[in-house]
């Protein structure tokens, strides 16, 4: 399965519609990991087609992290760069506000006019997304990140290696 930015964008809209608290780039990245991890565990396939790398604080989605880094640092991309397409597609669904903090840059999501398109997801994927959202809806990004290290596969994966 290939990475699907439209599914990611719709998942963000779904989380905003469901009033997921503290939703920033870090929490989103972790929730995407937990959704893919849970779906692989239960149904043997990822929802978003993303690759997750073990980092010190939490699993990092390879493509999404790259996109967020480009947006956070206002980097220019060549016309032919595929990431331009991914960013454009994402921004059709949500606006992204950049906040510079003392030691980091935080991205927050604002819903646009696009509505959540449930037809992009199977019933199993919706079940997985709903269970993860329900479980972590109120939690801070740090608490959600800590939950990833309760997963044996996360603990057993070497730093910098692919988890799923």
pLDDT in tens, 90-105: 999 999 999 998 888 9
**% pLDDT > 90, the chain:** 95
Selected residue with higher pLDDT from 1 and 75? 75
Q: What is the pTM of this model?
A: 0.96
The pLDDT of residue 1 is above 80: no
Question: Would you say residue 39 has pLDDT above 90?
Answer: yes
**Domain limits, the chain:** 5-156
Q: Supply the DSSP string of the chain, one letter for each residue.
A: ----HHHHHHHHHHHHHTT-TT-BHHHHHHHHHHHHHHHHHHHSS-SS---EEE-SSSEEEHHHHHHHHHHHTT----TT-HHHHHHHHHHHHEEEEEEE-SS-EEEEEEE-SPPP-GGGS-HHHHHHHHHHHHHHTT--HHHHHHHHTTSHHHHHSPTTSB--
pLDDT (mean) for 106-113: 94
């Amino acid at each position: 399965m290939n990475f699907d930015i439209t599914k990611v964008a719709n998942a963000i809209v779904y989380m905003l519609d469901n009033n997921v608290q503290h939703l920033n780039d870090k929490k989103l990245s972790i929730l995407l990991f937990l959704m893919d991890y849970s779906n692989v565990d239960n149904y043997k396939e990822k929802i978003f087609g993303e690759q997750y790398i073990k980092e010190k604080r939490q699993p990092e989605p390879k493509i999404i992290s790259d996109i967020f880094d480009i947006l956070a640092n206002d980097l220019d991309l060549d016309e032919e760069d595929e990431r331009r397409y991914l960013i454009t597609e994402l921004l059709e669904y949500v606006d992204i506000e950049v906040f510079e903090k003392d030691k980091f840059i935080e991205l927050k999501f604002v819903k646009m006019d696009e509505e959540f398109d449930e037809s992009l997801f199977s019933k199993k994927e919706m079940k997985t997304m709903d269970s993860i959202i329900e479980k972590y809806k109120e939690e801070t990004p740090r608490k959600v990140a800590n939950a990833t290290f309760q997963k044996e596969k996360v603990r057993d994966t070497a730093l910098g290696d692919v988890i799923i």
